[in-house]
Amino acid sequence: MKTTTLGWIVCTALAIGACNSSGTSGTGSTATATGTKPATVAETAREKAADALSAAASVVKPRREVELAAGTTVAVRTTHALSTVSNRTHDPFTATLDEPVVVNDVEVLPRGTKFTGHVTTSDASGRLEGHGELGITLDAFEVKGERYPVETSVNTRQSAGHKKRNTTAIAGGAGVGALIGGIAGGGKGAAIGAAVGAGAGTGAAAATGKQNVDIPAETRVRFTLKDPVTILE
């Protein structure tokens, strides 16, 4: 970017110098007649070219580099909902920066900076046990029209385990079945009732289905940069 800009400036200056030289060439005979040295015309053209180069260079401000160090915290908000039901591993998502990133009292990334990321893990829990899990990470951000790849920590969320609840449901079903069976048929009826009740409890627990993990839209999520990122301001 810097090389292209300086090249443009030099070309502009040379063009101005060439125009000035051609414009004065037609007066060469007059200059000679009046005693003006030809070298003076060339020097004037060079001076004008130098002035044009200096003026153009003063307008173009050099871009400085700013580094976001590894360990920098980035807080974003998801732009749409994510879930173990609708999303799979590697699915992309977008987010916006929720608070500015400041380096040496200078705001480097303004609030609203756009980020992209992807789902790292998407697993629902089992029917009767286990945890659902949904993991996401950031891949890049865009600032001033330029895209910067990043590698960040993974934010993982789990569902609450439901194994204890299911065990309670099964045991409760067995107890109720034994009570009813005991009233109806004594000890043998109690045993049969317990088995039937336990089966009913298992069915009820299974009927609760898998536990999913959801990240609603506009959820605030924090990530940490694993590697430094150099930004051109």
Task: Walk along the chain (233 residues) and give the pLDDT tens digit of each residue.
Answer: 444 555 555 455 555 555 454 444 444 444 444 455 556 777 887 887 788 777 666 666 677 899 999 999 999 999 999 999 999 999 999 999 999 999 999 999 999 999 999 999 999 876 556 789 999 999 999 999 999 999 999 999 998 765 555 444 444 544 444 444 444 555 554 444 444 444 444 443 344 556 899 999 999 999 999 999 999 98
**What is residue 186's predicted lDDT score, i.e. its pLDDT?**
54
Q: Which residues contact 106 (CB under 8 A, 6 or more apart)?
A: 66
DSSP 27: T
Give the domain 65-161+215-232 fold. Lipocalin (2.40.128)
**What is residue 200's predicted lDDT score, i.e. its pLDDT?**
45
What is the rounded distance in angstroms from the CA atom of residue 200 to the CA atom of residue 206? 10
Domain chopping of the chain, boundaries? 2-59, 65-161+215-232, 164-207
What is the rounded distance in angstroms from the CA atom of residue 128 to the CA atom of residue 3? 64
Residue in 44, 209, 24 with CA at minimum distance from that of residue 129: 209
Please give the structure tokens belonging to residue 90: 């590697």
Instruction: State which H helix or E strand residue 158 sits in.
Output: strand 155-158
**What is residue 60's predicted lDDT score, i.e. its pLDDT?**
62
User: The pTM is what?
Assistant: 0.58
What is the rounded distance in angstroms from the CA atom of residue 37 to the CA atom of residue 34? 9
50 in helix, strand or coil?
helix
Residue 230's φ and ψ, nearest 5 degrees, are -100, 125
What is the rounded distance in angstroms from the CA atom of residue 104 to the CA atom of residue 35? 62
CA dist 200 → 59, 78, 97, 128, 130 (Å): 81, 42, 50, 14, 21
**What is residue 101's predicted lDDT score, i.e. its pLDDT?**
97
Alpha helices in the chain (DSSP H): 2-25, 28-33, 38-59, 163-207
**What is residue 187's predicted lDDT score, i.e. its pLDDT?**
53
What is the rounded distance in angstroms from the CA atom of residue 218 to the CA atom of residue 93? 12
Please give the structure tokens belonging to residue 190: 């109690």
- Rounded to the nearest angstrom, the gap between the alpha carbon of residue 6 and the centroid of all alpha carbons in its chain is 33
One DSSP character per residue, 92-152 reads EEEEEESS-EEETTEEEE-TT-EEEEEEEEEE---SSS---EEEEEEEEEEETTEEEE--B
CB 194 within 8 A of CB 219: no
DSSP 225: B
Beta-ladder partners of 83: 214
